[in-house]
Amino acid sequence: MADKCERIIDEFTIDRAALESVAATFRRDIKRGLEGDELSSFKMLKSYLGLPTRQEEGEYIALDFGGTNVRAALIRLRGNGQPEVVKKAARKLVGSDYSYISAATDAQGLFDFIAAVVMEVAQPGQEYRLGHTFSFPSLQDNLYNARLISWTKEFAVRGVEGEIVNDLLVQALQRRGGVKIEPVAVINDTVAVLAAAAYKYDKADIGSICGTGHNTAYLERYRDSGKAVKPMILNLECGNFDKLLTNTFDKVLDAASEKPQEQRLEKMVSGRYLGRLFYLVLCDVFDLEAKGIDFDGAELAAILSDQTMLLDKVREIVKEKLGLVLDDEAAVWVKAFAEAIVVRAARLTAATYVGIIWHMDGDACIGEHIIAIDGSLFEKMPLYAENMRKAIYELLGADSDRIKLVLENGGSSLGAAIAAAVGQNV
Ligand code: BGC
């Protein structure tokens, strides 16, 4: 058993040289993406948003759609970088007897559900502008008209791909009637997180999500373009980065996913998939037939936090989930697999940040950067944030002191309100 287990741990281990190569390849793909070269794995989607001035004021409705919950909030911006959440509402997209992510739902069903949550935060008799954080790859040529290119994160609702999502929202709001709400902006969650951080801090120029899905946006200053172009936040859609060494489990997971061959980085690093990788490893080690079972983020976190002598929690979770009784040795390996999967995710993601920083700073010395991150992995998963910082140190040495990773909790909502307030500014 030990040999096999060690081999599996090796498959999930990324040494410094491999990390450096990920960062360098990532940097090259950004350059290629900016040049419109199809070899780039990135969509380089324009947001039509620059950084906020921090003077933005007013009350806006923020809608956040694209993770486990749909959230709406009434947010007051006070023009001094001090936002206030006046009211909020949230609903899970999947419940015991319904799913608003699967092909069983169509566009109208989904957007009616979303509109109902939006209405919960609106006050009768008022008029609002709404900013919409829509966390899927979308093509737009202004701040409003984002058109969904394709679903990710195993979403499969019918009739939304290829559509302008705010049009669907407008129709759903009209069907409900009542309060006058005007959707004016659509942004990706990575763009939202960056805008939210830049509302509070200098030096924020990268925004990233490490949660159910994974993706990063950064402020492109177009320094190499030779033209006077205003800086704009670009959504890389780097969950689709595919120049990576995948192992046996990554391949099995990809083949059985909704969209094989797509979102290869996301399938190695994001919360939607880590529990599945873990499950596939356990199936292999304990000769189980793989079924549609996933461990969720909370279970993985509980396994990683188990400090008891005999790993009681690890045993309990695996017994409950798979009906498997672990002996002492097996329990130690099971925890080690969870660690290896989570640490790989953190290191790979950190390497991509370094790739972006190398792109931004070129051959000049590394400047100060705040990387704003939202998502349950960064916020809650044991080992995750610390291994990110460690990997950045491995790649940048003392220069890593100038790179700050900050949790921008709720950035998706605040960013949506800021986008509604700013309007198109590039
Ligand atoms: C989507 C991105 C999004 C990320 C995080 C990915 O699956 O393609 O647009 O930013 O998830 O939510």
Strands (E), 135-277: 138-139, 147-148, 180-187, 204-210, 214-220, 232-235
d(CA 108, CA 149): 18
Mutate to test the pocket of ligand 1, among 138, 153, 274, 349 (most ligand atoms within 8 A of CB): 153
- 153 CA: nearest ligand 1 atom: 7
Task: Calculate how far, in angstroms, residue 375's C-alpha sits from the geometric centre of ligand 1.
Answer: 11
Task: Calculate how far, in angstroms, residue 45's C-alpha sits from the geometric centre of ligand 1.
Answer: 12
Task: Calculate how far, in angstroms, residue 376's C-alpha sits from the geometric centre of ligand 1.
Answer: 14
d(CA 187, CA 135): 8
User: Which protein residues are within 6 Å of ligand 1, measured from CB?
Assistant: 66, 135-137, 152-153, 188-190, 209, 213-215, 237, 239, 266
Query: What tokens does 119 get?
Result: 């209405």
Amino acid 223: pLDDT: 83
Task: Calculate how far, in angstroms, residue 67's C-alpha sits from the geometric centre of ligand 1.
Answer: 9
- pTM of the predicted protein model: 0.94
Task: Calculate how far, in angstroms, residue 364's C-alpha sits from the geometric centre of ligand 1.
Answer: 31
CA-closest residue to ligand 1 atom 3? 135
Cβ count within 10 A of residue 164 = 17
d(CA 47, CA 233): 6
Q: Judge whether 193 and 412 are in contact, CB under 8 Å.
A: yes
Task: Calculate how far, in angstroms, residue 129's C-alpha sits from the geometric centre of ligand 1.
Answer: 24
CA-closest residue to ligand 1 atom 11? 213
- Could you read off the pLDDT tens digit of each residue along the chain, which spans 426 residues? 889 999 999 999 999 999 999 999 999 999 999 999 999 999 999 999 999 999 999 999 999 999 889 999 999 999 877 899 999 999 999 998 999 999 999 999 999 999 999 999 999 889 999 999 999 999 999 999 999 999 998 899 999 999 999 999 999 999 998 899 999 999 999 999 999 999 999 999 999 999 989 999 999 999 877 777 899 999 999 999 999 999 999 999 999 999 999 999 999 999 999 999 999 999 999 999 988 888 999 999 999 999 999 999 999 999 999 999 999 999 999 999 999 999 999 999 999 999 999 999 987 799 999 999 999 999 999 999 999 999 999 999 999 999 999 999 989 999 999 999 998 777
Helices (H), 181-263: 189-198, 248-255
Sheet holding 369-374, edge to edge: 45-46, 232-235, 214-220, 204-210, 369-374, 403-407
> Which among 169, 199, 184 is positioned nearest to 70, based on CA atoms?
169
Task: Calculate how far, in angstroms, residue 195's C-alpha sits from the geometric centre of ligand 1.
Answer: 16
CA-closest residue to ligand 1 atom 6? 213
- Eight-state DSSP code of residue 64: E
Q: Judge whether 321 and 293 are in contact, CB under 8 Å.
A: yes
CA-closest residue to ligand 1 atom 9? 136
> Which among 355, 359, 37 is positioned nearest to 221, based on CA atoms?
359
Amino acid 1: pLDDT: 82
> Which among 304, 285, 373, 294 is positioned nearest to 342, based on CA atoms?
304
